[in-house]
Amino acid sequence: MNRKYIVVLSLILSLGIAGALAVPVIQVTVQDLGAGYSDVLSPVDHAWVNHVFKIEQHKIYLDAVRIKFDGDLPQGAYIRIELRDCNDNVLASGETILSQDLQAGTSIEIDVSPDLDLYSMIQYDKIVVVVAGNEVGT
């Protein structure tokens, strides 16, 4: 009886070890690249926007955006303008990198491409303004 017990126990152990070895062991290591937390702050809080129109061959087009900010922007700051429809599709966009400091309340004109014709102006629903300083650090 003792021998039967040892054989059954050996058989159970053998099956357990074989079953454990049959299951692949995958070890995944996640790198810390990009990990952490930091507040991202805009260099400005408010912007005032005016649209610049042009007339060519008896047609009117939205040609550019004139914008000014409530805060100073340093040389090298990046400004992007997107004119979007109600479905968030970009109808026209423009961007610039400042070649000199821009004082608060001073307007800058950013050309958008393509120029919006009358039909596109009807679709135009909102403007998105992205402003980034010349350096981002954590």
pLDDT at 133 over 90: no
Q: Which two structure tokens, joined as six digits, stand for 17?
A: 């070890």
pLDDT single digits (tens) 105-130 = 999 999 999 998 988 888 999 999 88
DSSP string, 48-114: EEEEEEEEETTEEEEEEEEEEESS-B-TT-EEEEEEE-TT--EEEEEEEE-SS-B-TT--EEEEEEE
- Taking only the tens place, the pLDDT of each residue in 4-33 is 777 777 767 666 665 555 555 555 445 555
